[in-house]
Structure 1
């Protein structure tokens, strides 16, 4: 695996930390900027919306530049808005920096996915995508807990400074290690790529990726109240549980990347079935400490193993949309990241308790299996165009 891919992963680590770290900083931000906690929570929503809208939009914009230039522009913008966020005393300006930071993050990840998979052999896209997405899982393991700790010691602004500082070496590393390349505008037209992205196989894969990721972040978002109110662990165990989920996620991405290129279908089928069984078992046994702790680790591994494989399958399926595929894969990933917590929150607000996000996660994975199975069955029953034409002429 080219070393430049791991350097791209360093930048993804910084961006993943920024995306998730506000979960431990919202109260401090609200108190410091004199806004309500729900208002401070809009910072997370703004970032999610920016990621969803920005991924395909920034992928289109980046076509005018070489991939290295686009990556550097997005990363420097991301760095600068975190410096501004660390210095501002205006909540409105901080909200604006989250939107701009999300657009830059989305653009970077979209271009980085295409760049990373373009630096390896055509049959190694799964490993390349997994190596890159390992930065997100490492953010869950180390970045988010570290950001929360910095916030407790030196205030929420220190976490923003830390993200900016981590981004600095990534800027220089990418400038030196990523090939210059040529502008992507010389390739297929935007309209041509958009037409290619309407293919049924690709649309189904994007939908499945959104559903699996929605299941993942539905439970991840509400792990803290789940383990403290249902499992009965003290608040001091929350960082440990979050870290366990992150460790499992990293293991799943790493292992999934090694299997995804050679045997993606068995991984997706059996991995999804195991994921569904795990969410149901977790919901039933959430009050049992030992089982719950083990399942946090296992479900993290299964979730990201299946999720990263679906992302790599998007890149395999979108051969006629080489520049926009990463953007749409990123958007689908973040649609799930917004859908899951929203659905889990609805279940909790309806009075179904803190176990309910687990059942929502199970429902989303069950829906994934139903849609995936139906699509696979339809595909097998539909004759290939050449075969159909031959039969029509006989």
Structure 2
């Protein structure tokens, strides 16, 4: 192989830069999971109310993903990426400078919209830079940065927050986002070709598929079940499992490792059997959540089951995103953005209900009950999709090689 051929096989450096950015921004979403007690004490509120900082971040991404996809369709993508990072940094700065909880909530919402803008455009840029032959791998690298946030970013951020205060962790995120924006400006090239004019009518009409909405409904329930448990893992681990607070970041890291391995495994197994892989993953998630509810009083069993929950819960997502893009292929922009939005619908609803359950008689076990109910509900729309596919088998084939289950586009 010649040097030119080897160069052609390499993924552009800008793709790895964007993966670092998704790592940074995804860390900000769930870092609160390990800092709930500190943040609640600082603002003089309950941990359940402090959990609204997770809910509102997800809420901002619900509308932000499709909105940013449409609004930035004609804007230079590197401008969108850099601007998203700058706005994100501003949201983090306001968060650390305020003593008003509702200002914190507003700042988190702004940061979340910026995050959704980066996620929506980042995968598209990666695909364009890498070219058709390396498209899936490039998108997977960018989205993998988000998954690595659960493995490294959230535990480290939680540890730093516990040692030096939660505001210190947010200061670091704000500063790193500014640096990342500068790097994006210098490394991400301008768009290489004129993009076709967006047809809003075509995009809207292209998302009328009932199969698409069944997949999106499944995304809501799967995300609500798995990630609401993760968001309120700290009260369960310390209050029920009896784990020392200093070990909570380790437990969150175990979840992150499981989630990363689960996504990779789910994507690979789903290449050949997407529906079976997703169904098995969802059933397994319900079983693991029920087991966690039953054995959460045992510290190391709780940690192990939390890691297993990350594995089973995230294994379904690559397949669901692939199916969403397949059934919404007539609306490529919205089909790429809607899974992000609906995953965050699930996070918003799940974390809200988990917060309510946390303040009920169920106490720290409440979020687990919510997670179990959501994981069971996920099976309903997916079963309906399987029934529809069984009646129309020719429509179930995944014909686009760029939309494999191992790829998550934003």
TM-score w.r.t. length of structure 1: 0.85
1:246 shift after superposition: 1.1
2:27 is aligned with 1:14: no
Q: Deviations over 1:10-44 (max 9, x none)?
A: 11111112122234455655666x66457755444
Report the equivalent of 1:380: 390
2:324 is aligned with 1:309: no
Q: Deviations over 1:24-70 (max 9, x none)?
A: 455655666x6645775544443232221212112111112132222
Residues 262 and 4 of structure 1: is their aligned pair in 2 closer, same or farther, counting only changes over 3 Å?
farther
Structure 2: give runs of 5+ residues left out of the alignment: 1-9, 396-410
Residues 40 and 363 of structure 1: is their aligned pair in 2 closer, same or farther, counting only changes over 3 Å?
closer
Aligned length: 384
Report the equivalent of 1:5: 15
Structure 1: give runs of 5+ residues left out of the alignment: 386-394
2:172 is aligned with 1:165: no
Aligned residue among 144, 150, 159 for 1:140: 150
Aligned residue among 50, 66, 80 for 2:90: 80
Aligned residue among 47, 63, 86 for 1:53: 63
2:222 is aligned with 1:242: no
Distance across 2 between alignment mates of 1:216 and 1:320: 30
Report the equivalent of 1:351: 361
1:372 shift after superposition: 0.9
Aligned residue among 249, 272, 286 for 2:282: 272
Residues 219 and 268 of structure 1: is their aligned pair in 2 closer, same or farther, counting only changes over 3 Å?
same
1:282 shift after superposition: 2.2
Report the equivalent of 1:328: 338
Contact 2:62/2:341 (8 A) holds in 1: yes
1:259 shift after superposition: 3.6
Report the equivalent of 1:100: 110
Aligned residue among 68, 89, 107 for 2:78: 68
Q: Which moved more, 1:252-261 or 1:51-60?
A: 252-261
Residues 147 and 257 of structure 1: is their aligned pair in 2 closer, same or farther, counting only changes over 3 Å?
same
Distance across 1 between alignment mates of 2:33 and 2:389: 42
Contact 2:36/2:234 (8 A) holds in 1: no
2:200 is aligned with 1:190: yes
Report the equivalent of 2:229: 219
Residues 197 and 121 of structure 1: is their aligned pair in 2 closer, same or farther, counting only changes over 3 Å?
farther
Distance across 1 between alignment mates of 2:149 and 2:183: 19
2:243 is aligned with 1:233: yes
Contact 1:13/1:135 (8 A) holds in 2: yes
Q: Deviations over 1:311-337 (max 9, x none)?
A: 233233332222222321211111111
1:176 shift after superposition: 4.3
1:212 shift after superposition: 0.5
Q: Deviations over 1:193-228 (max 9, x none)?
A: 111122112111111111111111221122222223
TM-score w.r.t. length of structure 2: 0.82
Report the equivalent of 1:284: 294
Residues 26 and 361 of structure 1: is their aligned pair in 2 closer, same or farther, counting only changes over 3 Å?
closer
RMSD: 3.1
2:373 is aligned with 1:368: no
1:381 shift after superposition: 1.9
| SS across alignment from 1:376 | helix
